[in-house]
Amino acid sequence: MTHLTRLPLVLAVLALAACGGSGKENAKSTPCPTTGKQVTFPLLSKSTPYTVDVLTNFGSFDIRLDVEDSPCTTSSFAALVRKKFFDGTRFHRIVPGFVIQGGDPTATGRGGPGYTVKDIPPSNSLYTKGVVAMAKAETEPRGTAGSQFFVVTGDDAGLPPDYAILGVVTKGLPVVEKIGRLGNRATEQPTKKVVVLRMLVTP
């Protein structure tokens, strides 16, 4: 089972499937290589700000995508959002004062879209409160991303720069903090069912 722990750091990978795009995105499919299932998806424009609105049964929060540092990860994630891949999924791992983790359609910590992409994060990356990054298995290379993601709820998760940066929460941080309190620190399991009702990406 792949999951996020402090030591050893085991963070379930997040991969994202392919699908259409907006007129502001490159017409050609992304050159991003994938492992596992071979997929294509439109590459997001680095000159356009993209936001993912995450609506849960405990409220909503927005993620501003970091297209500059993670072009493949953000493009794949946006494609999955447009396919409604995340709608109905749960935050299957909640560690108070550390992270909340979701994006697994099986809610087991093992699921994903069937492929991964890779964006090696900058060496000075910090995983502080509100940062959203992709989870990966300890044995996978730096920057590997599938569909599982985590949002940092502590002041500093103290993680090395191994996890692809998806973006940062720009709105609704109190909702993230509220969800972050709905977990058992010992078991890392949610104490209440937290469901992603839908995600939307704009523009």
pLDDT 10s digits, 39-93: 999 999 999 999 999 999 999 999 999 999 999 999 999 999 999 999 999 999 9
* Domains, the chain, with CATH or none: 51-202 (2.40.100.10)
Query: What is the number of alpha carbons within 13 Å of residue 81 lying toward its C-beta?
Result: 25
Kindly give, in sequence order, each residue whose CB lies less than 8 Å from that of residue 79, ignoring residues fewer than 6 positions away. Answer: 16, 17, 18, 19, 20, 21, 41, 42
- Whether 10 contacts 138, CB under 8 Å: yes
Question: Does the pLDDT at position 20 exceed 50?
Answer: no
What local confidence, expressed as pLDDT, does residue 31 receive? Answer: 77
Considering just the CA atoms, what is the radius of gyration of the chain in Å?
A: 15
Nearest to 5 by CA among 108, 93, 131, 91: 93
Share of the chain above pLDDT 90, in %: 84
Predicted confidence band of residue 203 (pLDDT cuts 50, 70, 90): very high
pTM for this prediction: 0.86
Q: 37 pLDDT exceeds 80?
A: yes
Cα–Cα distance for residue pair 173/193, rounded to 1 Å: 19
Both tokens assigned to 130: 């509100």
Give per-residue pLDDT as tens, 147-185. Answer: 999 999 999 999 999 999 999 999 999 999 999 999 999
Give yes or no for a contact between 171 and 128, defined as CB atoms under 8 angstroms apart. no
Name the residue with tokens 């993601």: 149
Distance CA 177, CA 113 (A): 27
Count CB neighbours of 189 within 10 A.
Answer: 12
* DSSP label at residue 11: -
Judge residue 123's burial from the number of C-beta atoms within 10 Å of its C-beta, 0-12 exposed, 13-18 middle, 19 or more buried.
exposed
Which is nearest to 81 in space by CA: 95, 62, 58? 62
